[in-house]
A and B are shown apart, each in its own frame.
Chain A
Amino acid sequence: MKFIATRIVQMVLVVLAVTLLAFGAMNFLGDPLFNILGPIANEDAGPEFAEVRAEARAEYHLDDPFIVRYGRWLGDMATGDFGRSFKNQTQVSTEISNRLPITLILMVYAQVLSVLISIPWALWTASRAYRLPDKVSTVVSFGMLGVPVFALVVLLFWLGAVRWEIFPTRYDDETIGARLYSMFLPALSLAIPLIATYQRLLRTDLISTLQEDFIAVARAKGLPQWRILFRHALRPSLFSMLTVFGIQTGALIGGSLVVESYFGIPGIGAAVIEAIIRDDFPVVLAVVVIITVIFVVVNFIVDLLYSFLDPRVRLDG
């Protein structure tokens, strides 16, 4: 329990630090008034705009001290109020709640694909370690790590949608089936580097687990190979992969920006890019906070999962 408490305090501190950093950067490095009003925010624009400027200042509380504004923003956020967009006066929370599920589906889709492909692949190669199929796999997965997502999306789109015409060229959310089908290439683009990462880590851990005595014991029990691999070797070998699973969530978020904008998927990745280009800071801030929270929570869950993988790991350590 002490471990959980420490981790929660740490999580809250990290989220606070990130929000402070982001809010500070927006206010000190940028110019909120300019972002709201555009060129007329400048004093030189003429006295006729003074009233507009004052109105905007009052509306967005720009004259309050930084710490007060930061505090108010945090407080609002805690109640689910992310403020109003600078650009189109809509509630940021509405936009986020429309778009966040799409991004989450995409990320889960990618992780599911990665896990479903990498685990059997790693089991297959580890049980044939240092033989030809394993050597070929090592080269292939090393290559997969070298393809940037922005190159992958074009490559997969060209192959899957243009050349072979297997998948649709547009995002389609008519039905769940259509949505999953049209999200396959985007999810695969995110998954390919993950598959390679997981396969490499899991293979290494599996090879060392397969040297363990309890594997020889399982063999001596006369259990078949597939059962030994899945039931005995897999679970004790998942540690490195699980650790990276948490860290990779960050890469996945970055990748989803690329994938969403290229494939035209209306998730928060695409939203944040639009917002940044339009200098719409409330939206950017909201997305940054949400993404950080997702990232921190996923890593917290990963820590909890360790004790499930190995009963010897106690959470009070």
Chain B
Amino acid sequence: MALLEVNELAVTFNTPKGPVYAVSDVSFAVDKGQALGIVGESGSGKSVTVKSLMGLLPRTAKIDGSAQYEDVDVFNMSKDRRKHFYGVDIAMVFQNPMTSLNPVKRIGEQLMEGMRFHRGLSRDAAKSRAIELLDLVRIPDPTKRLSQYPHELSGGMRQRVVIAMALANDPALLIADEPTTALDVTVQRDILDLLDSLRRELDMALILITHDLGVVRDRTDSIAVMYGGRVMETATTEEVFADTEHPYTQALQRAIPDMSMPRGTRLDPIPGSPPDLAITPVSCPFAPRCTFATDECRTSIPPLSAVPGSETHRYACFHPQGLVAAASTVGGEA
């Protein structure tokens, strides 16, 4: 059974200039202890999706659809359940460690307040737990760190502190929103590997959000590719790489940096820019940038269809690349 199941989620922002359809018809599920990667470029709606789950959207946002976490209806929680839900059941790590920590509070204080509030730990108990957590995220000399301020730590160290903070109350689900984008390339890998090993160690589910398909390749069980506020393709990680259906997923694959590539090889950027979400969607959002787009793509929205023979693989495209290739091979042989 899924730990978190999101169904037909839609988020609309009511702005003075009219509604903005930030997220439409998004469904996915995460199982206990499993990792899901949500991949897409900026403006694809991935951050809005998780912010809606975390209750972090402004009041102007209208949320439709449902999100079921175990027996909790996330969008309609009772006040009592909500009091100890975020930070306990679901926790989150943010994009920029430089701004995620309160600059005027000591590391220790920030680590301890969550556990003290949710679990009523004594100061001493919280302190030893904080040291334990810093040790867990492999921060050297944890006792000393407690009395330091964020500005005394490097970016990578700060992100480890942010992760430790999120882990304080043993969440069953951790959401990491582009946790390495703001970091130096040299420490990005360390942080990603840390998240991966923590997930295994703590038997915790993980939603990893990124714009880089390469990041999720070896670290997730399943993947949802988002574009223009919609899910383009979703499948197990294996399926996504073995049998890519959506032209957008293909484009993302071509944009993965690869160490084996000769120096000076240019990555293939995706031409064009993300769609304007202020317009009522009537077409495939990727159509303007897609080389395979036909009139059909420009006049109707492709529904999520299942790949024959797979229970997990779905795509939203009128011209599924893997299936077309398979068909043409079959056709050629015939």
Contacts and interface: CB of A to CB of B under 8 A. Distances in A.
B62 interface: no
B55 interface: yes
B176 to A, nearest CB: 11
Nearest to B118: A222
A232 B87 CA distance: 16
A33 B74 CA distance: 85
Q: Is the interface of A mostly helix, strand, loop or mixed?
A: helix
B231 interface: no
B149 interface: yes
B88 A214 contact: no
Interface size class of B (residues with CB under 8 A): 20 to 34
B94 A213 contact: yes
B94 A217 contact: yes
Nearest to B102: A214
Contacts, number: 76
Given A212-B99, A213-B96, A311-B149, A220 B104 contact: no
Contacts of A221: 86-87, 91, 113-114, 117, 165, 168
A224 B87 CA distance: 11
Contacts of A236: 102-104
Given A213-B94, A217-B94, A227-B117, A222 B87 contact: yes
A224 B96 CA distance: 23
Given A220-B87, A221-B86, A310 B104 contact: yes
A221 to B, nearest CB: 4
B227 to A, nearest CB: 24
Interface size class of A (residues with CB under 8 A): 20 to 34
A231 interface: yes
A222 B56 contact: no
Contact of B91 (A213, A218, A220): A220
A222 to B, nearest CB: 3
B94 A216 contact: yes
Interface string B213-233: 000000000000000000000
B162 interface: yes
Nearest to A209: B102
Interface in B119-178: 149, 151, 162, 165-166, 168
Interface string B59-89: 0000000000000000000000001111110
A312 B149 contact: yes
Nearest to B109: A231
B306 interface: no
A222 B92 CA distance: 10
A311 B103 contact: yes
B83 A224 contact: yes
B99 A222 contact: no
Contacts of B149: 311-312
Interface in A209-242: 212-214, 216-224, 227, 231-232, 235-236
Contacts of B162: 217
A221 B113 CA distance: 9
Contacts of B86: 219-222
B54 interface: yes
A219 B102 contact: no
Interface string A127-142: 0000000000000000
A228 to B, nearest CB: 10
A212 B86 CA distance: 19
A223 B113 contact: yes
B100 A222 contact: no
Contacts of A311: 103-104, 149, 151
B164 to A, nearest CB: 12
B101 A222 contact: no
Nearest to B96: A213
A309 interface: yes
Nearest to A219: B56
A312 B101 CA distance: 13
Contacts of B168: 221
A137 B91 CA distance: 36
Nearest to B151: A312
A222 B84 CA distance: 7
Nearest to B91: A220
A310 B103 CA distance: 7
A220 B88 CA distance: 10
Contacts of B103: 214, 236, 310-312
22 contacts: A213-B96, A213-B99, A214-B103, A217-B101, A217-B165, A219-B54, A219-B56, A219-B86, A220-B56, A220-B87, A220-B166, A221-B86, A221-B114, A221-B165, A222-B84, A222-B87, A223-B87, A232-B102, A235-B104, A310-B104, A311-B104, A312-B149
